[in-house]
Amino acid sequence: MAKMWRGIIEQYRDYLPVTSATPVVSLCEGNTPLVPARQLSAELGPQYEVFLKYEGLNPTGSFKDRGMTMAVSKAVEDGATAIMCASTGNTSASAAAYAASAGLECIVIIPQGNIALGKMAQALMHGAKVFAVDGNFDDALRIVREITNNYPITLVNSVNPFRLDGQKSGAYEICDALGDAPDFHFIPVGNAGNITAYWRGYVEYHKHGKAARRPRMMGFQAAGAAPIVRKQVVPKPETIATAIRIGNPASWKFAEDARDDSNGMIDMVTDAEIIEAYQFLARREGVFCEPASAASVAGLIKLMKSGFFKHEAPAPGSKVRIVCVLTGHGLKDPDNAIKHSAEVISVPASADAVLEHVALARR
Amino acid sequence: MAKMWRGIIEQYRDYLPVTSATPVVSLCEGNTPLVPARQLSAELGPQYEVFLKYEGLNPTGSFKDRGMTMAVSKAVEDGATAIMCASTGNTSASAAAYAASAGLECIVIIPQGNIALGKMAQALMHGAKVFAVDGNFDDALRIVREITNNYPITLVNSVNPFRLDGQKSGAYEICDALGDAPDFHFIPVGNAGNITAYWRGYVEYHKHGKAARRPRMMGFQAAGAAPIVRKQVVPKPETIATAIRIGNPASWKFAEDARDDSNGMIDMVTDAEIIEAYQFLARREGVFCEPASAASVAGLIKLMKSGFFKHEAPAPGSKVRIVCVLTGHGLKDPDNAIKHSAEVISVPASADAVLEHVALARR
């Protein structure tokens, strides 16, 4: 059984706050591929290699599973009988799946109205109790905090510290796959937990001699939800990239530290740039991600166009290695995919009718 | 770079019809987890271990990617400039993604009407040209055959033999993870290509000394689409498990051979049994799959209830190992998930209102 992947806790046990007494709740998350981005690499030139860390291939379709396996394992160790979160998206899907695996109850609180039911399909299917409260997201979070303070229920929103511990495993995997840290790590920034966790992972791996270097951390916010870039809270964040539509990030300070300690940057990209990257990835690289995920690649394309990489000459015989994290699978948001694609073409049932629309040389 | 997963062709090159001249088109498919099914194992008893081969974690969300990397790589080697298929589901999604990665055009023909647009989101997003023809599925396939016969376009429907070659890799991975083949291999049967490919993979690995034994192949058709079980073509197959709604399987004879040569069986499960397994997997194991995928586990549950395993005593000190293949991710079909789940509960924005619906001990 030596080669069997057993999830990030078993793989990286030495780097995580678990003991032999921790009951491991895992769906075999992690071990996601580092897909070579041929077109992006070609556009940058022969001295560059771009890889996509395709986190959409985690069990529930997003990177959240890395943190949730830790949060739920620790909840079980702590004697919790239920977990709870406020989320309309990837967090609730992940929480519900891990709760199901552990035999815990999962309670999800969402604000009423404006919630596409498709977004909740995973949480509902995994048997979570989903409550729509007559209020906004802050009301939902307030109720979660009040109940988890008074009952043996574990809060698994991002304030749960074990979530970030688990998310560090993404950095370990990248170093293990490449044999070292990359030169640049591009990542979408919303609540800023993921950039924080990746940086911690890289720093620890470097400290333990598992990587010779540390990457420059390149975070990208959506222009309509860019509090770190603008240096002020955004009261009403707006962007198509709903997974990073955050006006006051929980890990704001940590993200700034990651940026500064790594000689990196946190910049922003417009919704148009995000959609362009989202389409480029699907149509040219064959990789379908959530709109928010594409913020990392939108940032890379923005820097390419600005001439940023002209100053980045690699050591002779080596290449500049760039990793872009794609945080969630495109199947999470089919509506946006259809909205940003060509339409189905209706034709009579004949080969000639089809061929009128495609220019082809005869065999 | 020793530990980097580069897709099934690089991993299993010696077992596949490729040469150094074959341009490998890969999205790093394969390497999917073998998730321990704790609840199913517990229900069977301490002498049994059940694993779920979670093929929904391939790049486009289904096992089709294993065959498509082969079909598209060979198409490029053959000088094709485009690929083509008739499919409303997983095949078109996979074809479109690999075509995008290879820089080929992808043409998809579907019958008009009755097509949920969400099902086509992936093909459209990956830039395929999708034609809805005024006819049925047979008309669509006829047009695909006519055009691919006359133009340098490769047909990538399941008649393309390289598809089955690639799909054998699922069996190799299971043997590599477990250190041997399992005792039983449960799998949904629709067009019967996948049971054929898995059996070929197990036989080859056994022949090459990579596995000491071969599993019993346990195929399950949907009762409304069970031509092999009923020993006759089903003119109008009907089942909720759309991915196996096939009345005249292309690999019918091969599937019977796999069954007979392995001392296995091909049986059928009702839609009710499929839905029960689909819900059990999501709510008890934390694994969300397509309805069709759940046919494998529905078959396992059916045999458990019938007492089938009472006669299967493992060798002393060992366990009976059972692998169930889950062919596609549940996110492919959010509508069915919502239809088979509890509803969202609307409440006022207070903790007490939520607590009325959950029975909890105070901390």
**What would the pLDDT profile of A295-332 be if each residue is shown by its tens digit?**
999 999 999 999 999 877 777 788 999 999 999 999 99
Q: What is the dihedral of CA B157, B158, B160, B162, to 10 degrees?
A: 120
Give per-residue pLDDT as tens, A8-21.
Answer: 999 999 999 999 99
Measured distance between the N- and C-terminal CA atoms of chain A, rounded to whole angstroms: 50
**Backbone φ/ψ region at B49: left (φ over 0), alpha (ψ -120 to 50), beta:** beta
Mean pLDDT per block of 10 residues along chain B (363 residues) reads: 85 97 98 98 95 98 98 97 94 98 97 80 97 91 95 95 98 97 98 97 98 98 98 96 94 98 98 98 98 98 94 81 98 95 95 88 52
Q: What is the pLDDT of residue B51?
A: 98
CB contact under 8 A, B286 and A112: no
Q: What is the DSSP letter of B121?
A: H
Q: Which residues of B touch A41 (CB under 8 A)?
A: none
Which of A77-91, A216-230, B113-127 is least confident?
B113-127
| Distance in Å, alpha carbon of A286 to nearest chain B alpha carbon | 4
Query: In this model, does residue A283 exceed pLDDT 90?
Result: yes
- C-alpha–C-alpha distance, residues B225 and B243, integer Å: 11
Query: In this model, does residue A240 exceed pLDDT 80?
Result: yes
Is residue B151 within 8 A of residue A360, CB to CB? The reply is yes
- Give me A3's structure tokens: 């080669």
Q: What is the pLDDT of residue A318?
A: 87
Look at residues A100, A110, A95, A195 and name the one whose alpha carbon lies nearest to residue A144: A110
Is residue B122 within 8 A of residue A330, CB to CB? The reply is yes
Is residue A72 within 8 A of residue A98, CB to CB? The reply is yes
Place of tokens 């990651």: A258
Nearest CB neighbour to B282, from listed A61, A100, A329 = A100
Strands (E), chain B: 34-36, 48-54, 82-86, 105-111, 129-133, 153-155, 184-188, 216-222, 265-269, 320-326, 345-347
Give per-residue pLDDT as tens, A32-67.
Answer: 999 999 999 999 999 999 999 999 999 999 999 999
CB contact under 8 A, B177 and A5: yes
Q: In what order do the strands lie in the sheet with A345-347?
A: A345-347, B129-133, B105-111, B82-86, B153-155
- Give me A96's structure tokens: 């519900």
Give per-residue pLDDT as tens, A86-140.
Answer: 998 999 999 999 999 999 999 999 998 767 777 899 999 999 999 999 988 889 9
Is the pTM above the cut of 0.95? yes
Look at residues B15, B128, B8, B13 and name the one whose alpha carbon lies nearest to residue B68: B8
Look at residues A293, A361, A287 and name the one whose alpha carbon lies nearest to residue A36: A287
CB contact under 8 A, A347 and B134: yes
ipTM associated with this complex: 0.96
Question: Crossing angle for the helix pair B169-178 and B193-207, nearest 10 degrees?
Answer: 50
Nearest CB neighbour to A342, from listed B102, B124, B151 = B124
- Give me B93's structure tokens: 């999604």
Q: What is the pLDDT of residue B313?
A: 73
- Give just the sign of the alpha carbon dihedral A284, A285, A290, A293: negative
Strands (E), B95-164: 105-111, 129-133, 153-155
Look at residues B170, B182, B217, B148 and name the one whose alpha carbon lies nearest to residue B48: B182
Q: In what order do the strands lie in the sheet with B216-222?
A: B34-36, B48-54, B320-326, B184-188, B216-222, B265-269
- Best to test chain A binding among B58, B87, B101, B281 (most A CBs inside 10 Å): B101
- Give me A108's structure tokens: 């999800």
CB contact under 8 A, A151 and B362: yes
Taking CA–CA distances from B30, the nearest residue in chain A reads: A33
Q: What is the pLDDT of residue B30?
A: 98
Look at residues B48, B133, B134, B121 and name the one whose alpha carbon lies nearest to residue B90: B121
Is residue A228 within 8 A of residue A266, CB to CB? The reply is yes
User: By three-state DSSP, how is residue A363 classified?
Assistant: coil
